[in-house]
């Protein structure tokens, strides 16, 4: 066992709370990317112009117009525009909700270089949302995001190894990806790494405290609470 999973906070284990801290993004699907994209693989400047017009339309709550503009920009291979089209389909904003369509646009977005889309696709395969559950595919898509520096993708790989979902269970591999996630600014990865050090077979409270402190500095209250517990 990686750590004592009988230690509870309320009705949830610390481990589950840490996972939730890391994966909140996956449940906030209504969030659009409304900043100018960096490094998008769009084919022409027209794609960026359409994207920016879509951003402005969205800020003015002209969602139908925004969707059309993002869709046109995505057709020109603008990665972030494709991500946003997926959000519209996933939430039913100005279009009929269609999770399968959202998945397709997020796949395209990930392939074009939007790392956060890779997390969405990986999560769909991990949980069997709109596609057949497939841990190997989940790992593949998470890896695409993690390789691009997306912390949530890295922590998701760590969770697969921590729980032995589609891969041999490995605390060492889990910690490797939690460390990578934490380095990339994902508080959940820092917490999970801290938990392994605080409750695992090779305990090191000083190292655990360091990672809980990092999570706290990243704005995660659970990291702050765990840090204080060790401090006491």
Intrachain domains 1-28+134-232 and 38-113 with the same fold: yes
Pick the CATH number of 38-113 from 1.20.1630.10, 2.60.40.60, 1.25.40.10, 3.90.660.10: 1.25.40.10
pTM: 0.83
- E strands, 51-140, are none
| pLDDT band of 74, cuts 50, 70, 90 | very high
Contact between 30 and 92 (Cβ < 8 Å): no
Using a pLDDT cut of 90, give the percent of the chain over it.
74
Contact between 192 and 158 (Cβ < 8 Å): yes
Lowest mean pLDDT, pick from 22-31, 64-73, 131-140? 22-31
Domain boundaries, the chain: 1-28+134-232, 38-113
With H, G, I as helix, E, B as strand and everything else as coil, classify residue 8.
strand
* pLDDT per residue as tens digits for the range 26-49: 544 445 665 444 444 445 679 999
Q: What is the CATH number of domain 1-28+134-232?
A: 1.25.40.10
Contact between 204 and 212 (Cβ < 8 Å): no
Torsion of CA 118, 119, 120, 121, to 10 degrees: 50
DSSP secondary structure code for residue 203 in this structure: -
Distance from C-alpha of 227 to C-alpha of 221, rounded to nearest angstrom: 10
With H, G, I as helix, E, B as strand and everything else as coil, classify residue 227.
helix
Torsion over CA: 52, 57, 59, 64 (sign)? negative
Contact between 211 and 190 (Cβ < 8 Å): yes
């Amino acid at each position: 066992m990686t750590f004592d999973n009988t230690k509870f906070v309320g009705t949830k284990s610390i481990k589950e709370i840490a996972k939730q801290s890391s994966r909140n993004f996956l449940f906030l699907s209504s969030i659009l990317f409304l900043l100018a994209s960096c490094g998008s693989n769009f084919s022409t400047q027209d794609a960026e112009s359409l994207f920016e017009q879509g951003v402005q339309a969205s800020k003015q709550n002209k969602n139908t117009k925004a969707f059309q503009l993002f869709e046109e920009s995505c057709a020109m291979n603008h990665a972030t525009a494709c991500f946003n089209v997926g959000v519209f389909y996933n939430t039913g904003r100005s279009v009929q909700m269609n999770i399968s369509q959202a998945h397709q646009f997020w796949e395209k977005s990930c392939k074009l270089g939007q790392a956060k889309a890779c997390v969405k696709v990986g999560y769909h395969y991990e949980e069997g949302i709109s596609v057949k559950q497939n841990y190997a595919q989940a790992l593949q898509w998470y890896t695409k995001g993690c390789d691009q520096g997306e912390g949530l993708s890295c922590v998701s790989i760590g969770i697969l190894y921590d729980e032995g979902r589609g891969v041999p269970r490995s605390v060492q591999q889990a910690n490797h990806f939690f460390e990578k996630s934490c380095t990339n600014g994902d508080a959940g990865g820092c917490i999970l790494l801290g938990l392994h050090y605080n409750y695992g077979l090779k305990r090191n409270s000083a190292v655990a405290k360091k990672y809980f402190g990092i999570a706290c500095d990243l704005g995660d209250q659970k990291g702050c609470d765990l840090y204080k517990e060790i401090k006491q």
